[in-house]
Amino acid sequence: MILYDVLIIGGGPIGLNCALEAEKAGLSYVIIEKGTIVNSLYNYPLYMTFFSTADKLEIAGIPFISTAPKPGRREALEYYQGISRQKNININLYEEVLKITKTENFQVDTSKKVYFAKNVIIATGFYDFPNLINVPGENLPKVKHYYSEPYPYANQKIAVIGSSNSAVDAALETYRKGAKVTMIIRHAEISKSVKYWVKPDIENRIEEGSIAAYFNSELVEIKANSIVFKDENQEIQEIENDFVLAMTGYLPNFEFLRNSGIELQGDCLKPFYKENTMETNVAGLYLAGVVCGGKDTHLWFIENSRIHAEIIIKNILNH
């Protein structure tokens, strides 16, 4: 039986950074990832551009060279997967963690085998579970919670739900490929968090009428050939529709966190952890990266959670 010093769940940028910190400290480790390396980034829209500059996406002091001021999805995949190859990171792919059990050490059951470790780091992100709208018709094939590229929506009537970066990108890209785009937005304006170089573009398209936008509105029902929503005057509207792009965000796997013994707090279901160690209420079980925010998925990013790896490994070494 192999007893690892550290088992890391999630092979994203923060999981890779935890592995590199563990190796630097002389600790044995393994990463278990249910998809490919940096799987969440792989599933991002094909033409996505990061808000952060390349230097803020770097891990382990390894330079991220980008020809553009802000790198895109493909450059990020090359960077992080390149690190995994160059550093020969011990990572097992397409293997899902099913259960964590704590006795004297940790037993981690996966879809392929059983592992044992002294410490476990959960760095799973949040991209795997869409934040559902919970309206009738949401399970229709025309409804997409993930958006990758605009080409399937050429010359179609598209409803984009939301006003965050993903919603704005989907609206602009599909509009420019010939879609008739309508945005249904719960708030009174486009989100202030939208990338500063994109926000004027979407606002101008709405102002000129190229993209229709209903603010202070709420989706009520999705039908086979239309959508029904309540506008800012609380009046019911129904418009023709071919596809719904529900860009309403994503959530961590709260059931997995609960089953692992982690306490979830407040309306945001924020997992309990000590900020100075990143250790949860379960001794030896740590959190790293965006999963720390619970439902508040805008709290942690690559650039401000890179430090988690160093904090965790330092605490492990001090035990």
Note if the pTM is more than 0.85. Answer: yes
pLDDT confidence of residue 187: 95
Q: Which amino acid is at 171?
A: A
pLDDT confidence of residue 15: 98
Cβ(158)–Cβ(181) below 8 Å: yes
Fold match, 3-129+250-318 / 132-246: yes
Whether residue 256 has pLDDT greater than 90: yes
Q: Secondary structure of the chain: what % helix, strand, coil (to 5)?
A: 25, 25, 50
DSSP state of 259: H
pLDDT digits (tens, 9 = 90+) for 169-196: 999 999 999 999 999 999 999 999 898 8
The per-residue pLDDT of the chain, averaged, comes to 95
User: What percent of the chain lies above the pLDDT cut of 90?
Assistant: 86
Q: Specify the CATH number of the domain 132-246.
A: 3.50.50.60
pLDDT confidence of residue 100: 98
Q: Which two tokens stand for residue 275?
A: 């900020």
pLDDT confidence of residue 128: 72
pLDDT confidence of residue 107: 98
pLDDT digits (tens, 9 = 90+) for 20-62: 999 999 999 999 999 999 999 998 888 888 888 999 999 999 9
pLDDT confidence of residue 51: 83
Domain ranges of the chain: 3-129+250-318, 132-246
Computed from CA positions of residues 87, 93, 99, 103, in that sequence, does the dihedral angle turn out positive or negative? negative
Worst-scoring range by mean pLDDT, 19-33, 127-141, 211-225?
A: 127-141
Instruction: Give the CATH fold of the 3-129+250-318 domain.
Output: FAD/NAD(P)-binding domain (3.50.50)
- Average the pLDDT over 4-16 and give the result: 98
- Average the pLDDT over 270-287 and give the result: 97
